[in-house]
Amino acid sequence: MQIFPQPLEQTIFTNSFVEELLGDPSQENVPRQVPGYHYSPVQPTPVPDPHLLAWSDELAAFLGLVRPPERGPAVELLAGNRVATTMQPYAARYGGHQFGNWAGQLGDGRAISLGELGAVDGSRWELQLKGAGPTPYSRRADGRAVLRSSIREFLCSEAMHHLGVPTTRALSLVGTGDEVVRDMFYNGNARPEPGAIVCRVAPSFVRFGNFQILLAHQELDNLRQLADYVIRHHFPELGVPSPAVYAQWFAEVCRRTAIMVAHWMTVGFVHGVMNTDNMSILGLTIDYGPYGWLEPYEPGWTPNTTDFSTYRYAFGQQPRVALWNLMQLAQALTPLVSEPNADLRPALDTYVTTFNQARQAMLLRKLGLTPQPDGQPDYALTEALHAALETAEADMTLFFRRLSHLVPVLLTEATGSGPAVQQLIEEVSYNPAGAVHGPLQEWLEQYAQRLGQESAAPEAIRAGMLAANPKYVLRNYLAQLAIEAAEAGDLTDLERLYHVLKTPFDEHPAYEDLAAKRPDWARTKPGSATLSCSS
């Protein structure tokens, strides 16, 4: 019986992944292929001066943990300087398709899982350190992470959670006291940056790529064992694994992936590197790297310079890419079912229908509209909105938030062309040229008419929309400003941002600056407009 809350260093960990799956018997912590195993046991490498920079009180409370002091035993655990006796740290073996090409073995090159602990509701959560030193999967890299990318992962995974998007979580951000050399844009400008470690938390970090590597090596017993482990622990409602259950499980993975991507499209999140090793088997957003948030609504946008030749992972491509990734997962699972085509293909159709329905339901909620029995006219309305927002170069987050406030006016005036509408368009558009505003103006007129068919009171519609349209998202330039200040030793910006991102649908009068449209100087700023995989 656990007594909550307790200090991390007194928590008892369990290690189901390590105990129920096959571990590499070699203790050699050098880059190598690890055929035949699911993971490699590996110890984190200590850092010079671990100190706490950020902590998620809300996640900690759920996990029954007390906030630790800046330095001490808990922070040493969160930096990998100390390993509790009940922990059995490991790095998982996985492969993946990177930018559409099979890349062979990748694996946890800088992530080390410590073990699982029980939350206050009895569920079990795995703790994983990102940047805790080399593993057999580090290939030519150092196993470390810089403060810049660690702040981005900490803030964004917590922000996504509070927006209601399925995601891995972040418990802590720890500075290492060490420097790590990175060439941020792979252009010969390597420089030392402060090092950091995020402790991320999820029920499991298993990815599509964990299955793919096993098929690639024809390790079919290992493939089945991993599938059984995942079903037993994370999809127990499906029952005892059998060919029929594997098919149902795949359908559920498709369904969850569809919901996750629908959320991304709804909040304007661009993952940036949707390689199959970055796709969670639980349908969680995972591996926050060169991600970005839409400012002007632009389906072709990605911040990831590594993707500038094909734009494979641009915002508007994400639903299609997730489907492609699911097809690769289906391929990996074929040995588990009797008739791959009949057993797995319908789930891919499920993905498409679930995505379309979820996306539309989320959009209607943002627009304060009740789904109609025959939804067809509303599909036309929402389709037209995407095009109008793009043409008007409208800030997506600001548009929906301002629109929520405008609803009572639209209903009273019963027109979408009054001065308040003009003002809204001018405020949310990044392009002052009136000509590009036309389609959005027309759309608002159609919307005002459609809104008139709603029976709820204007105030109720407005309140519903304010609960669906966040005021605060992790704007790219705000993250970058917080990073630059933190690198100079000032955590104020990071703390202010984190504060609003925890309640993004609320008004925070003292934090209006964090809800502002992207200033022009940030339009092309490296680190906010552009990023790479170097982290």
From the annotation, which residues make up the binding site for Mg(2+)?
278, 287
- 374 a catalytic residue: no
Q: How far is the CB of 289 from Mg ion (least distance, A)?
A: 7
Taking CB under 6 A as the criterion, the residue among 76, 108, 307, 393 binding ligand AMP is 108
3-state SS of the chain: helix, strand, coil percent to 5? 45, 15, 40
User: Which residue numbers belong to the known binding site for ATP?
Assistant: 107, 109-110, 130, 142-143, 200, 207, 287
Q: How far apart are CA 432 and CA 354, in angstroms?
A: 38
Residues in region 265-304 near ligand AMP by CB under 6 A: 273, 277-278, 287, 289
**How many other C-beta atoms can be found within 10 angstroms of the C-beta atom of residue 340?**
15
Q: Which token pair is 22?
A: 């096959």
Which one of 108, 178, 277, 493 is the catalytic residue? 277
Q: Which residues pair with 179 in a beta bridge?
A: 194
Instruction: Return the number of the residue (85 or 309) whose C-beta is nearest ligand AMP.
Output: 309
Q: Which residues pair with 38 in a beta bridge?
A: none
Picking from 493, 517, 499, 503, the residue whose alpha carbon sits closest to that of residue 467 is 503
10 Cβ contact partners less than 8 Å away, ≥ 6 residues apart: none
Residues in region 347-406 near ligand AMP by CB under 6 A: none
Taking CB under 6 A as the criterion, the residue among 110, 271, 402, 437 binding ligand AMP is 110
**116 neighbors 104 (Cβ within 8 angstroms):** no
Please identify, among the stretches 40-48, 101-109, 333-341, 520-528, the one whose residues bind ligand AMP according to the rule CB under 6 A: 101-109
Residue type, 471: K
Picking from 394, 224, 432, the residue whose alpha carbon sits closest to that of residue 294 is 394
Question: Considering CB distances under 5 to 8 angstroms, the limit depending on partner class, which of Mg ion, ligand AMP, none binds residue 107?
Answer: ligand AMP
239 Cβ contact partners less than 8 Å away, ≥ 6 residues apart: 245
**Residue 168 lies near Mg ion (rule: CB under 5 A):** no
Task: Give the ranges where 268-339 is alpha helix by DSSP (H).
Answer: 318-333
Helix (H) or strand (E) holding 215: helix 208-216
Question: Considering CB distances under 5 to 8 angstroms, the limit depending on partner class, which of ligand AMP, Mg ion, none binds residue 109?
Answer: ligand AMP
Taking CB under 5 A as the criterion, the residue among 11, 88, 278, 325 binding Mg ion is 278
Helix (H) or strand (E) holding 384: helix 376-391
Task: Give the ranges where 429-475 is alpha helix by DSSP (H).
Answer: 438-451, 458-466
Please identify, among the stretches 105-113, 296-304, 311-319, 514-522, the one whose residues bind ligand AMP according to the rule CB under 6 A: 105-113
The number of angstroms, rounded, from the C-alpha of 431 to the middle of its chain's C-alpha atoms is 30
Please identify, among the stretches 47-55, 106-114, 195-203, 355-363, the one whose residues bind ligand AMP according to the rule CB under 6 A: 106-114
Residues in region 143-182 near ligand AMP by CB under 6 A: 143-144
**Residue 307 lies near Mg ion (rule: CB under 5 A):** no
Q: How far is the CB of 377 from ligand AMP (least distance, A)?
A: 42
Please identify, among the stretches 259-267, 284-292, 319-327, 429-437, the one whose residues bind Mg ion according to the rule CB under 5 A: 284-292
Instruction: Return the number of the residue (130 or 496) whose C-beta is nearest Mg ion.
Output: 130
Instruction: Return the number of the residue (137 or 235) whose C-beta is nearest ligand AMP.
Output: 137
Nearest residue (beta carbon) to ligand AMP? 109
Q: Measure Cα distances from 479 to 101, 288, 318, 426, 526 in Å.
A: 31, 13, 22, 25, 12
**90 neighbors 80 (Cβ within 8 angstroms):** no
Taking CB under 6 A as the criterion, the residue among 72, 109, 164, 299 binding ligand AMP is 109
Q: How far is the CB of 142 from ligand AMP (least distance, A)?
A: 5
Number of residues that bind ligand AMP (CB under 6 A): 17
Q: How far is the CB of 139 from ligand AMP (least distance, A)?
A: 6
Q: Measure Cα distances from 210 to 128, 215, 518 in Å.
A: 16, 9, 39
**29 neighbors 134 (Cβ within 8 angstroms):** yes
Burial label for 172, CB within 10 Å (0-12, 13-18, 19+), is buried
**Residue 141 lies near ligand AMP (rule: CB under 6 A):** yes
Taking CB under 6 A as the criterion, the residue among 84, 384, 420, 533 binding ligand AMP is 533
Instruction: Return the number of the residue (278 or 532) whose C-beta is nearest Mg ion.
Output: 278
Work out the widest C-alpha separation in the chain, in whole angstroms: 73
Please identify, among the stretches 61-69, 114-122, 141-149, 486-494, the one whose residues bind ligand AMP according to the rule CB under 6 A: 141-149
Taking CB under 5 A as the criterion, the residue among 76, 287, 295, 393 binding Mg ion is 287
Picking from 264, 270, 344, the residue whose alpha carbon sits closest to that of residue 300 is 270
Q: How far is the CB of 146 from ligand AMP (least distance, A)?
A: 9
Q: How far is the CB of 35 from Mg ion (least distance, A)?
A: 21
**Residue 534 lies near Mg ion (rule: CB under 5 A):** no
Q: Measure Cα distances from 387 to 332, 384, 394, 436 in Å.
A: 37, 5, 11, 11
Question: Considering CB distances under 5 to 8 angstroms, the limit depending on partner class, which of ligand AMP, Mg ion, none binds residue 283?
Answer: none
435 Cβ contact partners less than 8 Å away, ≥ 6 residues apart: none
Please identify, among the stretches 17-25, 107-115, 162-170, 198-206, the one whose residues bind ligand AMP according to the rule CB under 6 A: 107-115
**Residue 193 lies near ligand AMP (rule: CB under 6 A):** no
Q: How far apart are CA 287 and CA 284, in angstroms?
A: 10
Which residues form the interface with ligand AMP (CB under 6 A)? 106-110, 137-138, 141-144, 273, 277-278, 287, 289, 533
Active site residues: 277
